Amino acid sequence: MVGRINIIIMAISAGAFVILPLVFSVVMIIRKKTKSMLLGMASFSIYGIVVKNLIFSLIFLVPFLKTRLSSDYIVYSLFIGITSALIHMVTRYALHIKIGIKDKAAFSAGESVIQCIYVGIPTTIIGLGYAVAINLGGFEYVGITNKVLPALTSLINADYTEYLPYVIYPFFVFALNRMTVDLFIKNKFVSALTEAVILSIYSYFMLCRLYIPGTIFLLAVTVVIVVVLIVSASKKQVGKRLDSVDTTTLL
């Protein structure tokens, strides 16, 4: 049997991975910003699924690099953060030059939707389906023996804190992508540097299996980014109002 607390945490994280992308997708469709959202989806598909996996696979074919990265979590986490940020920046730049990022919010939402699907399905949704099925005795009907089930179940029950970061991860993804797109339009280097630092720290926590500190870090970063975005949006609104007042006064 899979522990109750494991199932609860997995259910919450799976819900976040499903509901958040769905809400953003519906909002963008209602606002008729699907073109920018689709461009964002293409961005992550190119950067996060194709190019990134290809580069990482090629690097790990080199024995020296594989040994060096696998033996030092600090070096490996820095490699993940810097490489991911650079690939992301180059992909965004290519799409921006060729097509143009016309709506930053819709573009970042598109990136985040695909990222949540890509990460959420294998990490939480499939695991949750397995946990519920095994607790309800569903595997007995498909002929899976009792010798196999304990080994699989122990993987889920091993450490329930492993799923804690995934409760925050979807919110973190949407916040980070939104902020880095804003930074990208203003200063591409600052955007890549910010993303590299944040991803490196998060990768280090996950590689070291420090799931609770990793969750706290994701939550802190998400809250800070949301506050910064709200303050920035408020300043823009105040600026627009002042401009309209000045225009009215002149008239």
Structure confidence by residue, pLDDT tens digits, 31-86: 999 999 999 999 999 999 999 999 999 999 999 888 888 889 999 999 999 999 99
pLDDT at position 124:
87
Most confident of 64-73, 105-114, 239-248: 105-114
pLDDT digits (tens, 9 = 90+) for 186-241: 999 999 999 999 999 999 999 999 999 999 999 999 999 999 999 988 888 877 77
Q: What is the pLDDT of residue 209?
A: 92
- What distance lies between CA 243 and its chain's CA centroid? 37
State the pLDDT at residue 143.
54
Structure token pair of residue 225: 């980014």
What is the per-residue pLDDT for 125?
85
pLDDT for the residue numbered 145: 54
**pLDDT reading at 244 higher than 60:** yes
pLDDT score recorded for residue 4:
78
Residues 116-170 pLDDT 10s: 999 998 888 887 877 777 777 655 555 555 555 555 555 555 567 888 999 999 9
Asked if pLDDT for residue 96 goes beyond 90, the answer is: yes
Q: What share of residues in the chain are helix, strand, coil (percent, to 5)?
A: 90, 0, 10
> Look-up: residue for tokens 């991975």?
17
What pLDDT score does 101 carry?
Answer: 94
**% of the chain beyond a pLDDT of 70:** 85
* Dihedral sign computed on CA atoms, order 188, 171, 81, 99: negative
- The residue type of 139 is F
Q: Is the pLDDT of residue 5 over 80?
A: yes
Q: CB under 8 Å to 231, separation ≥6 — which residues?
A: none
Q: What is the token pair recorded at 40?
A: 């964002």
| pTM as predicted | 0.88
